[in-house]
């Protein structure tokens, strides 16, 4: 029975003495518009109320003992809106009020510790009760003072037997937010009130503000990510390709742009984070295949833009990297016979001479791919011939018959890696637009001769070399 009675008495004492841990978040508003936010996260710390006339004995340490090497003096002020932890030296192990047994929740211990935290060195403030802070500073002349709220200032009241002190954390328009602690209130809380109503806040008896320094409010953090625009891959050839994009960030500026790049072969074994060169608003990098094990196929490119505040934007591109395929062709021209071989978009035939094409041969250097080419021609008096392949003759010889149209397409397992484009110069029309991958190029039903042709093979999906709207005309 004695055991249970003892447990009950201990429990009651814990509640009465306030050493039972509490965690409460609450907001209260009064008629004056003052908002009090309580964040009560009291650690297991033995302390007692500071009564009128009490003084926290200074331990007599040299000022150097209070210096914190982790603090760099700065004109930028960082507000405290949450309770300090029990391992925070400013409020506990190096706080003269705590060392004397008057630790939080006493407003003096908190205000002294907060001043210590702001300055990074021992503050020259009273070690007596709250209603002594103002007069102590008047006598010592340690800090300037006034009636206008400023961030980092100590707000002093003497409207009770002990008074009260708090610290200004934020000023937004005419709204002032202070952080504080009180024996009769909470371990830590914030209060927001309208500037000029200080006398109606807390215990009343507003004395003024002690200015620890001239601090600038912490600037609003830039949370807007950079902008990435016009991302593209250009200059694709047998050696590599170029990545470019436009980047901008009005608030913090562009810090860096990275282009992580890899192929679809063997996972990401060739992943490289390429750092872009930035000129004005243009970020670019030239990727060489030898940086990626000389692998071909699909390259994935991600673009990451970072601004000076650490915000990031990203986008993605891909490109099919293939070996350049050389397409060669020669034509048999009226009165001239076979012309020299042309390649990769060069003109084979004549212009302005009214000479008909009578036959053609086309072939590709497949660079080891399973890739070939086939083609067929529409011939005067004959119509469409059968398909010819890889250097075979399509057309006629010694018959004086004109070619009127042509179709060309790629063959083999790797044909999908490339596109073939071609266009012809037709009698009475001139150059028609580009046809692609087996489409008809030329005329039908007009009796117009072909006079010249251009052919090229490009990686699949590459932009057309020109317009593709009018590649073939028929009156049938």
- Of 236, 284, 208, 178, nearest in space to 458 by CA: 236
- Of 207, 205, 201, 206, nearest in space to 29 by CA: 201
Question: pLDDT of 329-384, one tens digit each?
Answer: 999 999 999 999 999 999 999 989 999 999 999 999 998 889 999 999 999 999 99
**What is the pLDDT, as a whole number, of residue 6?**
47
Domain boundary assignment for the chain: 21-217, 227-321, 326-474
Question: pLDDT of 414-473, one tens digit each?
Answer: 999 899 999 999 999 999 999 999 999 999 999 999 999 999 999 888 889 999 999 999
Class of domain 227-321: mainly beta
- Poorest-confidence range of 7-21, 300-314, 449-463? 7-21
**What is the pLDDT, as a whole number, of residue 11?**
43
Question: pLDDT of 167-212, one tens digit each?
Answer: 999 999 999 999 999 987 789 999 999 999 999 999 999 999 999 9
**What is the pLDDT, as a whole number, of residue 1?**
43
**What is the pLDDT, as a whole number, of residue 37?**
62
| pLDDT(91) > 90 | yes
Domain 21-217 falls in which CATH fold? endopeptidase fold (from Nostoc punctiforme) (3.90.1720)
Average predicted confidence (pLDDT) for the chain: 88
Residue 144 in tokens: 């300037």
**What is the pLDDT, as a whole number, of residue 430?**
95
**What is the pLDDT, as a whole number, of residue 22?**
36
* 318 contact partners, CB below 8 Å, separation of at least 6: 298, 299, 300, 301
**Cα separation, 166 vs 94, whole angstroms:** 19
Q: What is the CA radius of gyration of the chain?
A: 42
**Cα separation, 215 vs 119, whole angstroms:** 11
């Amino acid at each position: 029975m004695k055991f249970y009675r003892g447990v009950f008495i201990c429990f009651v004492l814990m509640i009465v003495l306030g050493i039972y841990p509490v965690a409460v978040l609450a907001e209260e508003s009064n008629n004056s518009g003052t908002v009090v936010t309580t964040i009560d996260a009291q650690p297991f710390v033995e302390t007692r109320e500071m009564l009128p006339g009490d003084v926290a004995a200074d331990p007599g340490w040299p000022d150097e003992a209070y210096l914190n090497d982790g603090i760099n003096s700065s004109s930028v002020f960082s507000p405290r809106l949450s309770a300090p932890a029990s391992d925070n030296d400013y409020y506990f192990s190096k706080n003269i009020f705590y060392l004397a047994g008057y630790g939080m929740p006493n407003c003096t211990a908190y205000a002294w510790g907060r001043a210590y935290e702001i300055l990074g060195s021992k503050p020259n403030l009273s070690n007596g009760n709250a209603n002594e802070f103002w007069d102590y500073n008047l006598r010592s002349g340690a800090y300037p003072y006034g009636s206008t709220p400023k961030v980092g200032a100590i707000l002093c009241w003497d409207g009770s037997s002990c008074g009260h002190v708090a610290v200004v954390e934020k000023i937004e328009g005419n709204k002032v937010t202070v952080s504080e602690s009180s024996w009769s209130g909470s371990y830590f809380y914030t209060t927001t009130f309208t500037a000029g109503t200080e006398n109606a806040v807390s215990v009343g008896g507003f004395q003024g503000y002690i200015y620890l320094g001239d601090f600038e409010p912490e600037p609003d953090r830039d949370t807007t990510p950079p902008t990435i625009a016009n991302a593209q891959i250009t200059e694709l050839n047998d050696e590599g390709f170029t990545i470019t994009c436009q980047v901008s960030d009005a608030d913090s500026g562009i810090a860096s742009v990275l282009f992580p790049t890899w192929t679809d072969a063997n996972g990401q074994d060739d992943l490289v984070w390429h750092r872009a060169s930035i000129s004005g608003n243009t970020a670019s990098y030239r990727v060489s295949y030898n940086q990626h094990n000389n692998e071909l196929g699909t390259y994935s490119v991600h673009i990451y833009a970072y601004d000076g505040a650490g915000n990031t934007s990203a986008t993605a591109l891909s490109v099919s990297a293939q070996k350049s395929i050389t397409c060669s062709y020669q034509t048999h021209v009226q009165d001239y016979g076979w012309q020299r071989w042309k390649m990769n978009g060069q003109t084979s035939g004549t212009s302005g001479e009214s000479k008909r094409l009578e036959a053609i041969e086309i072939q590709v250097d497949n660079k080891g791919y399973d890739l070939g080419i086939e083609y067929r021609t529409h011939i005067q008096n004959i119509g469409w011939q059968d398909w010819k392949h890889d250097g075979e003759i399509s057309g006629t010889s010694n018959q004086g018959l004109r070619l009127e149209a042509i179709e060309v397409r790629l063959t083999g397992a790797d044909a999908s890696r490339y596109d073939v484009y071609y266009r012809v110069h037709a009698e009475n029309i001139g150059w028609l637009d580009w046809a692609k991958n087996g489409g008809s190029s030329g005329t039908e039903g007009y009796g117009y001769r072909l006079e010249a042709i251009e052919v090229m093979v490009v990686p699949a999906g590459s932009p057309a070399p020109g317009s593709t709207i009018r590649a073939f005309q028929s009156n049938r």
